[in-house]
Each structure stands twice: as structure tokens, then as C-alpha cells.
Amino acid sequence: MRQFAIVVLVAALIVPAAALTASGAPSSKDLALLATLRKQRLTKIEFKETDLKGIVKWLRIATSKNILIKKASLAKAGVEWEDLRWTVQLEKVTVWTFLSEVVCKPHGMAVKVKGNIVFVTSKADSYGKAVTKLYGISHITWTKTDFIAPEINLTPSGFTGDEYEPEIVREDDPLNNGDAVADLIKELILPKGWENNDDWTIKASNTYLIIRAPKSVHRLIPRALAKIASMK
């Protein structure tokens, strides 16, 4: 039953990359531009063997948005974007869907919104710069024990009952050490992010987690820890 509960929790909390498009704490400008991209529709899209520069140039004119390619970030991630070509025919699709899901996602790229600029960049760059924070987890890793309480029945004076039975440590508790909590955090929050970004790390003891990740990821850690603690 406990293993089933963990599986359900993981399914409920996994966060898609699209939720973290604006790295760090998004500003009002970031949110406004992101909302516009999700709402604005392109009446007709038609490309034949068009490269990324050509698509971005067309989108700038069609949307009146400042769209840039972060060449250095794509190169660092090993994305050979200059060799990519798109042949597409679509109608009445949102700018966000086309740029994020059609252009970027299939080729290991991502969209990052910052201020009044829309960046085509690498997935790692879209999350933002990694920072280190400390989280206490002793409220999760405490040792669960079973114990036999003394009888509450009335006994005569001088009565000697059975000897006290010591506490028994629960050995089936999957959350009794920091490594288990760290592994669960990685399953709950952007699993592929931890796999693909060497700069994202979690060091664990039975008392603390030292997590290095972007601010956008850190914002999700407290909620995930609270959910894990509720399972104890």
C-alpha cells in the first residue's frame, strides 16, 4: 500500500518543463508576454525545408515579437541548430504551440521568456542559473517504531506483570534516510532535468538536503517535501 501511495504521489507532482519557461521568479512582463504567446494564433503556417533563422525571422514579422536565438547556449548543449530544417503546414495554431512544441521540443531546444524577449535556447538554459540551498528533512527521516503499551487494567497491590517489551524499529519504512528522500525529489520534480543537467545536484544526509538547481526548481521543493512528509 505504501509503495502504491508513492507511485501516486510521483504521478501527481511531476512538473513539465513548460511550467518553468521563465527562469527564476517570473516578472509581470514575463507572465504577460507568455500569456500573449499562448493566446495569439497564427492563421496559416507553411514552411518547406526552412532553417531556424528563417522561421524566427518570419515569426518576428507575423507576431511583432522580439524573438532571438541563443546561439551560445545551443552550442554548449550540443544542439546543431544550423543544420535543422522544418517542413510544416498548419492553420490556426498558437504562437506558443508552434514555437515550443513544433520547432523546439522535438530537437532538444526550449523557449525562454524574459522581459520583452522570446529566446529559442537549450533546455538547460531555459531553467536558469543553478543556486545552492539547504533543506531540513529530519521531520521526514525520523525512525518509525512500534511499541507495546502497558496494560491499563487495574491490578492488585504488589502484582508483578510481564516484563516490559522494548520498541521495535519499523524496517519497512522507505523514507528513513536522506538518500531515499533525494531520489524521490528527483522523481517528483522534472526527472529529465536531473538526468540532463550536470549542474543539478542533491547531497543528502539524514538531516539535510543540499540542493543545487535553478530558482525555478527550488520554488517547487517545499511543496514536494510537504507531500513526502504527509506520507510518513
Domain extents in the chain: 17-126, 129-230
Per the CB < 8 A criterion, the answer to whether 107 and 79 are in contact is yes
Q: In the block, which residue shows the cell 529529465?
A: 192
Say if residue 188 is exposed, middle or buried (CB neighbours under 10 Å; 0-12, 13-18, 19+).
buried
* For residue 214, pLDDT beyond 70: yes
In angstroms, the CA 138 to CA 189 distance is 20
Structure confidence by residue, pLDDT tens digits, 114-168: 989 999 999 888 888 899 999 999 999 988 776 666 666 666 666 666 665 666 6
DSSP 40-94: -EEEEEEEEEE-HHHHHHHHHHHH--EEEE-HHHHHHTT--GGG--EEEEEEEEE
Q: What is the CATH number of domain 17-126?
A: 3.55.50.30
Confidence bin at 7 (pLDDT 50/70/90): very low
Confidence bin at 22 (pLDDT 50/70/90): very low
Distance, CA of 180 to chain centre = 18
Residue 133, strand partner residues: 211
Q: What is the mean pLDDT of the chain?
A: 85
In angstroms, the CA 207 to CA 134 distance is 10
